[in-house]
């Protein structure tokens, strides 16, 4: 009556088939040239234009169990990294067909699971050689000694110091390897040894594995966000320590000197161009944001060597649909929309610092903080006829206004809603009240003005009031930029506010969402590049290396019956462990096909080749060369410009130095692979779905034949 059970992998695995058909829909989003899609609702005849996986999944019917798991995986990737979802979806498709292929060839499920999982691990280890460390990025913006801070910063922001010391050492080796290699690539006059030194201090600190250390470090991380307090902090000394452990200044200066000559990835412009993946306009905005934040940080600190961190939470995006493209820009401060009836008020407030208060909740009469349960059985009776219920709001508004006058406040930022009546009332008293302010904007103002966020206006005291905010029109002729709801853009600024607003405009309203998505994608891409302090050589290089690496280990396992891989299985005593060698080449081949598919789709989407066949020949040609060479990674490094041109820039002349490099972010990409494979393997290992509850009756009517009832 309430439960049914269906076997989903008799011969053909239904779950895997569902996965690949879902993934097929996202194919056209891969690569820098994206084909947008129109999604049309047949009932309401509404249509939207989309060009990202997230928006696509929002429009698909994902109520099936597999669809929901797919959505969960994509959302998880998106929530954590805001990027890599295209890759994730593509590999879900590619690898679910690969797994199905293996099933078809009679490979036991447990073997598919362990070989695929370890195959991917092996690839992830291999692609470390294509990592490009990011050094001295801000040297060209400002003077030299900024970097020692970045080093210490990296240490302090790593709260997970529970890594056993030996893995810490392995990490060092890898870093050394990639550092030296990258120097070989990028700086022709390079001094690889110098940049090796750069990594060592970090590893030393990491190796000190103890709980108390973690605590100290996490406190440091914490303190680094609170500049003003740090000076009095009892941990101040330890910050000094970790800087003195990592005394790389001397080397770094030499390094940067060498680097600036060779124009390597130590340059912010080169990095952003490489990470833009064809979307130069959005990335240009992000780059400007970083520059503004950096300048602001330098100004605030003076000579203090606090690390600079690109703080993505301090970016606010303001959307102004309907305005021409040329209005798109980046501004320090907060740009928001207010009713045009405020024009006079803004004019009056202009050119003088005003005092501000920040309200966390709503600014309405009957607002209560979350967790306050209003009793329903309390009734107020009125004894005299003078007061009636209508005027209670009036009384309240007067009281608010009084408080504002008392503290000489002319600006109120409210995170929640504001009563319209109050806004109007305050307007006549030269008090500007702005509602629905983003939380991180509130934090930025709290930091910059010294204001404290309060829940109720009655809580305000002198300590809660911030000062020094300037209110102006965003454009000199404010009525130029009025939107459909009769609102105009104003700019709130204060000295040293660590907040940058990106104004996104465009004449076509349908494109606004895409614009917004692309801006944030670029922002997060740069954010993770700076956070990881390394990028991958992009444009398919990483995937190509994975492909050739898998082909090589596949060939090796065909030749030698190596038993080393038997440990790949969790359960090493099972017969599967001994028969692993038999199936290994097959599974690895199928896994590698996924990468092949990715590369050919990528190349095909960029439209340099007319046929799939041509693309395939191109890949095969280089694959053969790579496998014949001593090491595929050095082949890729040598041939990178050729490969890169083949993939992305067919029209650019043959002058190598003119071809911009393409970069990819490291952690989000690897996590996207892992997530994709995890999802595929999870579905692969699932043999039945159990439907519970009321939904069962519906299942019954649709397709009851496959179900067994309990």
Site for another protein in 168-207 (CB under 8 A): none
Long-range (24+ apart) CB contacts under 8 A made by 629-637 are 632/545, 632/548, 632/549, 632/552, 633/126, 633/129, 633/130, 633/181, 633/545, 635/548, 636/130, 636/537, 636/541, 636/544, 636/545, 637/130, 637/181, 637/184, 637/185, 637/537
Binding residue for another protein (CB under 8 A) from 27, 280, 425, 696? 696
* Distances in whole angstroms, Cα of residue 404 to Cα of each of 391, 401, 435: 20, 5, 16
Nearer to another protein, 490 or 676 (CB): 676
Q: Are 69 and 679 in contact (CB under 8 A)?
A: yes
User: What residues numbered 418-447 form the site for another protein, per CB under 8 A?
Assistant: 439, 443, 446-447
CB-based contacts of 404, cutoff 8 Å, min separation 6: 357, 410, 412, 426, 429, 431
- Least separation in angstroms between residue 494's CB and another protein is 16
Among the candidate windows 173-181, 192-200, 281-289, 702-710, which touches another protein by CB under 8 A? 702-710
- For residue 407, the surrounding DSSP H or E stretch is none
Residues 92, 235: Cα–Cα separation, whole Å: 46
699 sits near another protein (criterion: CB under 8 A): yes
- Least separation in angstroms between residue 27's CB and another protein is 23
Binding residue for another protein (CB under 8 A) from 166, 326, 378, 390? 378
375 sits near another protein (criterion: CB under 8 A): yes
Residue reference for tokens 């650019």:
652
Residues 98, 587: Cα–Cα separation, whole Å: 8
Long-range (24+ apart) CB contacts under 8 A made by 296-299 are 296/332, 296/496, 296/497, 296/498, 297/498, 298/142, 298/146, 299/496
**SS3 call for 503:** strand
Residue reference for tokens 């903080």:
369
Residues 308, 293: Cα–Cα separation, whole Å: 9
Among the candidate windows 19-27, 188-196, 278-286, 689-697, which touches another protein by CB under 8 A? 689-697
Binding residue for another protein (CB under 8 A) from 285, 493, 671, 673? 671
Nearer to another protein, 159 or 192 (CB): 159
Binding residue for another protein (CB under 8 A) from 28, 214, 238, 641? 214
- Least separation in angstroms between residue 261's CB and another protein is 38
User: What residues numbered 143-172 form the site for another protein, per CB under 8 A?
Assistant: 159-160, 162
Among the candidate windows 97-105, 279-287, 500-508, 690-698, which touches another protein by CB under 8 A? 690-698
Binding mask 27-66 for another protein (x = CB under 8 A): -----------------------------------xx-xx
366 sits near another protein (criterion: CB under 8 A): no
Q: Are 676 and 91 in contact (CB under 8 A)?
A: yes
Nearer to another protein, 278 or 567 (CB): 567
Nearer to another protein, 91 or 568 (CB): 568
- Least separation in angstroms between residue 433's CB and another protein is 19
User: What residues numbered 443-472 form the site for another protein, per CB under 8 A?
Assistant: 443, 446-447, 452-456, 458-459, 463
Q: Are 432 and 349 in contact (CB under 8 A)?
A: yes
- Least separation in angstroms between residue 70's CB and another protein is 10
Binding residue for another protein (CB under 8 A) from 326, 698, 701, 705? 698
Count the residues of the shown chain that bind another protein, applying the rule CB under 8 A.
107
689 sits near another protein (criterion: CB under 8 A): yes
Binding residue for another protein (CB under 8 A) from 213, 241, 634, 686? 686
Among the candidate windows 27-35, 224-232, 405-413, 533-541, which touches another protein by CB under 8 A? 224-232
- Least separation in angstroms between residue 455's CB and another protein is 4
Nearer to another protein, 251 or 456 (CB): 456
The DSSP bridge partners found for residue 663 are 537
User: What residues numbered 71-100 form the site for another protein, per CB under 8 A?
Assistant: 72-73, 76, 79-80
Count Cβ atoms below 10 Å from residue 681 Cβ, excluding itself: 20
For 33-53, the DSSP string reads: SPPPEEEE-TTT--EEEE-SH
Binding residue for another protein (CB under 8 A) from 10, 11, 45, 374? 374
- Least separation in angstroms between residue 588's CB and another protein is 16
- Least separation in angstroms between residue 347's CB and another protein is 33
Nearer to another protein, 658 or 692 (CB): 692
Residues 137, 146: Cα–Cα separation, whole Å: 10
Nearer to another protein, 125 or 348 (CB): 125
Among the candidate windows 169-177, 211-219, 270-278, 474-482, which touches another protein by CB under 8 A? 211-219
Residues 319, 513: Cα–Cα separation, whole Å: 9
Residues 275, 662: Cα–Cα separation, whole Å: 6
Q: How far apart are the first and last CA of the chain?
A: 7
Binding residue for another protein (CB under 8 A) from 68, 145, 486, 620? 68
Nearer to another protein, 48 or 62 (CB): 62
Nearest Cα neighbor of 334 from 502, 501, 520, 475 is 501
- For residue 368, the surrounding DSSP H or E stretch is none
- Least separation in angstroms between residue 577's CB and another protein is 6
Binding mask 233-262 for another protein (x = CB under 8 A): xx----------------------------
Residues 524, 528: Cα–Cα separation, whole Å: 6
Nearer to another protein, 186 or 527 (CB): 527
Nearer to another protein, 225 or 652 (CB): 225
The DSSP bridge partners found for residue 665 are 535
Binding residue for another protein (CB under 8 A) from 10, 379, 485, 559? 379
Calculate ∠ Cα 229-235-240, nearest 5°. Answer: 105
CB-based contacts of 381, cutoff 8 Å, min separation 6: none
2 sits near another protein (criterion: CB under 8 A): yes
User: What residues numbered 110-129 form the site for another protein, per CB under 8 A?
Assistant: 110-111, 113, 117-118, 121
Count Cβ atoms below 10 Å from residue 369 Cβ, excluding itself: 10
Nearer to another protein, 167 or 509 (CB): 167
* Distances in whole angstroms, Cα of residue 687 to Cα of each of 15, 681, 682: 9, 12, 10
User: What residues numbered 502-531 form the site for another protein, per CB under 8 A?
Assistant: none
Among the candidate windows 218-226, 237-245, 430-438, 656-664, which touches another protein by CB under 8 A? 218-226
Tokens for 412? 């109120």
Nearer to another protein, 463 or 628 (CB): 463
Residues 262, 245: Cα–Cα separation, whole Å: 29
Nearer to another protein, 324 or 439 (CB): 439
Residues 505, 319: Cα–Cα separation, whole Å: 6
Binding residue for another protein (CB under 8 A) from 10, 38, 303, 381? 381
User: What residues numbered 558-587 form the site for another protein, per CB under 8 A?
Assistant: 566-568, 570-579
- Least separation in angstroms between residue 147's CB and another protein is 23
288 sits near another protein (criterion: CB under 8 A): no
694 sits near another protein (criterion: CB under 8 A): yes
Helix axes 109-126, 85-104, angle to 10 degrees: 140
Residues 691, 676: Cα–Cα separation, whole Å: 25
Q: Are 422 and 435 in contact (CB under 8 A)?
A: no
Binding residue for another protein (CB under 8 A) from 122, 219, 305, 641? 219
Residues 317, 309: Cα–Cα separation, whole Å: 19
């Amino acid at each position: 009556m309430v439960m049914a059970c269906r076997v989903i992998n008799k011969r053909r695995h239904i779950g895997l088939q569902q996965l690949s058909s879902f993934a097929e829909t996202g194919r056209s989003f891969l690569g820098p040239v994206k084909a947008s899609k129109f999604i049309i609702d047949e009932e309401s005849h509404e249509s939207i234009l989309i060009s990202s996986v997230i928006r696509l999944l929002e429009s698909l019917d994902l109520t099936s169990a597999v669809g929901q798991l797919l959505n969960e995986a994509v959302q998880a990737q998106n929530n954590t990294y805001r990027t890599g979802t295209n890759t994730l979806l593509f590999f879900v498709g590619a690898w679910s067909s690969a797994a199905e292929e293996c099933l078809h060839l009679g490979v036991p499920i447990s073997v598919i699971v362990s070989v695929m999982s370890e195959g991917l691990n092996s690839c992830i280890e291999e692609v470390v050689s294509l990592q490009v460390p990011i050094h001295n990025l801000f040297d060209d913006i400002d003077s030299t000694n900024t970097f020692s801070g970045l080093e210490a910063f990296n240490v302090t922001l790593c709260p997970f110091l529970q890594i056993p010391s030996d893995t810490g050492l392995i990490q060092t080796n890898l870093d050394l390897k990639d550092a030296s290699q990258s120097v070989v690539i990028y700086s022709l006059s390079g001094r690889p040894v110098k940049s090796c030194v750069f990594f060592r201090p970090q590893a030393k600190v990491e190796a000190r594995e103890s709980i108390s250390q973690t605590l100290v470090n996490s406190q440091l991380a914490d303190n680094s966000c609170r500049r003003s307090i740090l000076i009095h902090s009892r941990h101040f000394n330890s910050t000094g320590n970790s800087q003195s452990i990592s005394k790389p200044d001397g080397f770094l200066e030499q390094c940067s000197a060498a680097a600036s000559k060779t124009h390597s990835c130590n340059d912010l412009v080169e990095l952003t161009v490489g990470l833009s993946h064809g979307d130069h306009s959005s990335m240009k905005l992000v780059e400007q944001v970083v520059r503004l934040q950096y300048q602001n940080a330098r100004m605030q600190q003076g000579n203090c060597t606090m690390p600079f961190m690109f703080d993505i939470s301090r970016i606010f995006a303001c959307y102004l649909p309907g305005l021409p493209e040329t209005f798109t820009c980046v501004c320090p401060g907060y740009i928001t929309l207010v009713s045009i009836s405020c024009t006079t008020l803004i004019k009056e407030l202009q050119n003088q610092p005003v005092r501000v208060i920040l309200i966390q909740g709503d600014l309405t009469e009957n607002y209560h903080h979350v967790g306050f349960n209003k009793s329903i059985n309390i009734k107020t009776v009125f004894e005299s006829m003078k007061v009636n219920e209508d005027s209670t709001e009036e009384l309240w508004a007067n009281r608010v206004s009084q408080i504002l006058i008392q503290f000489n406040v002319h600006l109120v930022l409210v995170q929640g809603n504001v009563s319209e009546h109050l806004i109007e009332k305050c307007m006549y008293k030269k008090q500007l009240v702005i509602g629905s302010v983003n939380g991180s904007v509130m934090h930025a103002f709290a930091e910059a003005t010294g204001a404290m966020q309060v829940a109720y206006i009655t809580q305000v005291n002198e300590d809660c009031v911030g000062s020094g905010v300037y209110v102006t029109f965003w454009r000199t002729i404010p009525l130029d930029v009025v939107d459909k709801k009769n609102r105009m853009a104003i700019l709130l600024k204060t000295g040293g506010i660590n907040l940058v607003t990106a104004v996104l405009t465009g004449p076509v309203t349908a494109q606004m969402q895409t614009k917004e998505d692309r801006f944030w994608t670029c922002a997060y891409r740069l954010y993770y590049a700076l956070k990881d302090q390394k990028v991958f050589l992009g444009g398919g290089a990483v995937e190509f290396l994975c492909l050739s690496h898998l082909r090589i280990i596949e060939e090796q396992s065909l030749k030698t019956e190596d038993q080393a891989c038997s440990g790949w299985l969790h359960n090493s005593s099972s017969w599967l462990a001994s028969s692993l060698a038999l199936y290994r080449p097959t599974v690895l081949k199928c896994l590698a096909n996924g990468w092949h598919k990715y590369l050919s789709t990528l190349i095909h989407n960029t439209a340099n080749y007319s046929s799939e066949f041509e693309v395939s020949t191109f890949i095969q040609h280089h694959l053969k060369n790579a496998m014949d060479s001593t090491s595929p990674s050095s082949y890729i490094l040598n041939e990178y410009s050729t490969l890169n041109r083949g993939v992305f820039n067919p029209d650019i002349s043959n002058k190598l130095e003119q071809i911009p490099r393409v970069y990819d972010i490291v952690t989000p990409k690897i996590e996207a692979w892992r997530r994709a494979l995890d999802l595929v393997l999870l579905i692969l290992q699932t043999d039945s779905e159990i439907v519970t509850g009321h939904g069962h009756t519906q299942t019954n009517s649709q397709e009851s034949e496959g179900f067994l009832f309990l």
